[in-house]
C-alpha cells in the first residue's frame, strides 16, 4: 500500500498558534514529513512489507539492520502523524477525567506538566518525548531519533517533537520555550480518545 500524508484538522498555512508558525509548519509538514513518506514508499516497494500496515512495518523492522531505513522512515511517519494530532490551535483545558488519570500516575496534573517538560527538555540530540501507557501504568518516555513506543508494545497517548527542525525557525535554540508553548496547544480531546483506546477508563 502507498502511504500518504495525513489530513490535518487545521490549516497548515496558519500554523498552530500560539506555538508553531505557518512557516515552520510548511517546512516541517510539507518537506520533512513528506520526505519520510516518500522514502518509506520507495523503501517497501518489492519487499515483504509492501502491503503491511504502518505498525506492522515498525514492529517488523525494529532492530533489523537490513531494513534500518524502512524502520526510520515508517517510525517518523507514525511519529509525525501522532504529533500533528497531539495539537490543535489555541488548545483547551483537559477534562477532569484526563486530569485524574494523570494525577494518579504523576501526583497532580501540574506535576505531570513539570515532569514532561523536564524529560522533553533533556532528550539528548534529536528525538521525541512521549506520554505512554504500559498496561494501566503511565510513563514519560524519552526516545532518540525515530524511536517510538510501538515496538515496545506500549500505547502512545501524547508526543512532542524535539528534533531541532521542529522549533528552530520559531525559537532558535530555546527548546524550553517551544515546550512551554506546546502546552498551550495540546489537543486534550485526542489524548482522552487515546486513553480510552488504551483502556485507562
- Count Cα neighbours of 186 within 13 Å in the Cβ-side half-sphere: 19
Q: Strand 155-161 vs strand 137-144: parallel, antiparallel, or unpaired? A: unpaired
CA distance 180 to 125: 19
CA distance 67 to 43: 8
Residue 1 has pLDDT above 90, yes or no: no
Q: What's this model's pTM, rounded to 2 decimal places?
A: 0.97
Specify the pLDDT at position 184.
97
Per-residue model confidence as pLDDT tens digits over 8-62: 999 999 999 999 999 999 999 999 999 999 999 999 999 999 999 999 999 999 9
Per-residue model confidence as pLDDT tens digits over 100-119: 999 999 999 999 999 999 99
What is the C-alpha radius of gyration for the chain, rounded to an integer number of angstroms? 17
Are the C-beta atoms of 128 and 164 separated by less than 8 Å? no
Assigned C-alpha cell, 4: 500518504
Percentage of the chain beyond pLDDT 70 is 100
Cα-Cα-Cα-Cα torsion 142, 175, 90, 183, nearest 10 degrees, comes to 40
Amino acid at each position: 500500500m502507498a502511504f500518504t500524508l495525513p489530513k490535518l484538522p487545521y490549516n497548515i498555512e496558519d500554523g498552530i498558534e500560539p506555538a508553531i508558525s505557518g512557516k515552520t509548519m510548511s517546512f516541517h509538514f510539507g518537506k520533512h514529513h513528506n520526505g519520510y513518506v516518500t522514502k518509506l514508499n520507495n523503501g517497501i516497494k518489492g519487499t515483504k512489507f509492501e502491503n503491511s500496515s504502518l505498525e506492522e512495518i515498525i514492529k517488523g523492522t525494529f532492530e533489523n539492520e537490513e531494513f534500518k531505513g524502512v524502520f526510520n522512515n515508517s517510525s517518523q511517519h507514525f511519529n509525525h502523524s501522532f504529533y500533528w494530532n497531539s495539537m490543535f490551535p489555541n488548545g483547551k483545558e483537559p477534562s477532569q477525567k484526563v486530569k485524574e488519570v494523570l494525577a494518579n500516575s504523576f501526583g497532580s496534573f501540574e506535576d505531570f506538566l513539570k515532569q514532561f517538560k523536564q524529560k522533553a527538555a533533556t532528550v539528548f540530540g534529536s528525538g521525541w518525548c512521549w506520554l505512554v501507557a504500559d498496561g494501566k501504568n503511565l510513563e514519560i518516555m524519552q526516545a532518540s531519533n525515530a524511536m517510538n513506543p510501538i515496538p515496545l508494545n506500549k500505547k502512545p497517548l501524547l508526543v512532542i517533537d524535539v528534533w531541532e527542525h521542529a522549533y528552530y525557525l520559531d525559537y532558535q535554540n530555546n527548546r524550553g520555550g517551544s515546550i512551554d508553548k506546546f502546552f498551550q496547544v495540546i489537543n486534550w480531546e485526542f489524548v482522552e480518545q487515546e486513553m480510552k483506546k488504551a483502556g485507562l477508563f
